[in-house]
Amino acid sequence: LSIASTSLLPSRAGVYGRGSWWNAAIAVDAYKIVDPTVPGSFEPYRRLPRATFEGSHEIGLGFVAGVDSELVHFSKNEGSNNGTRLDVYPYLALPIERSGWFMRPELGWRQTEYDFDVGQDKRDESRGLPIFSYDAGLIFERETNWFGRDWLQTLEPRLFYLYVPYEDQSDIPIFDTQELTFGFGQLFRTNRFVGADRQTDAN
C-alpha cells in the first residue's frame, strides 16, 4: 500500500492541436494533497492556465527556424508568490544528416519574463540568454562473427558542445522547476533543469 499510494492527486484538462510544423496546447493543472501528514505548503502551484506553442520550419539552404514558447499563470494559497511567466526560445539550426555522420549546430535566445507577487507587492523580473549548441557524431558499422554467430558491430563517437553565459537568477522565483537526475541523455541537453525558472550556464 505504501508503494501504490500517492500524496498528491493531479487533475488536468486541456485542448491540444498539431499541424505539419507546429504543436500547441492550452491546459489547466491542479493538485490535491490526499495525505493528511503532508503540510499544505508542499502543494505544487496550480497552472491556471498553461499555454504552449512549438513550431519549426525549413527556411531554405538547409536552415530550420523554430520557436518553443510557454505562457503560464501560477496560483497557490494566500500569501504565496503567485505570478505569471512567459518563456520564449526562438532558434536557428542547420541540421545535416548523412548515412555515416551528422552535425547539428543551433543558435537561439531564451527570453523569460515574470510578473509575480511578493506579499502585498508586485514585482517583475526578466532573463535573456543566448544559447549555442553543436552536436556532431560519426557512425561506424561492420559485420563480424563472434563465437560462430553473425553480429553487426557499431561504434558511434559523439561530440556535444554547449555555451550559455552565466547570469544571476537568485531573484527569479521557482514555480515548477527542478534539477534532473543525471543520466546519459542529459549529456546532450541544453539545460540540466526541467522547467523554465532556471537555465544552466555552460561552456
Can you give the pLDDT of all 203 residues of the chain as single tens digits?
Answer: 566 667 888 899 999 999 999 999 999 998 888 877 777 777 888 999 999 999 999 999 999 999 999 999 998 876 567 899 999 999 999 999 999 999 999 999 999 999 988 777 888 999 999 999 999 999 999 999 988 899 999 999 999 999 999 999 999 989 999 998 888 888 899 999 999 999 999 99
CA nearest neighbour of 106 among 150, 62, 50: 62
Q: Which residues contact 81 (CB under 8 A, 6 or more apart)?
A: 116, 117, 118, 173
pLDDT of residue 184: 87
Q: With beta carbons less than 8 A apart as the criterion, state whether 62 and 94 touch.
A: yes
DSSP 3-state assignment of 40? helix
pLDDT of residue 3: 64
Q: With beta carbons less than 8 A apart as the criterion, state whether 176 and 194 touch.
A: no
Q: How far is it, in rounded angstroms, from Cα 21 to Cα 18? A: 8
Q: How far is it, in rounded angstroms, from Cα 169 to Cα 53? A: 25
pLDDT of residue 76: 84
- pTM for the model: 0.85
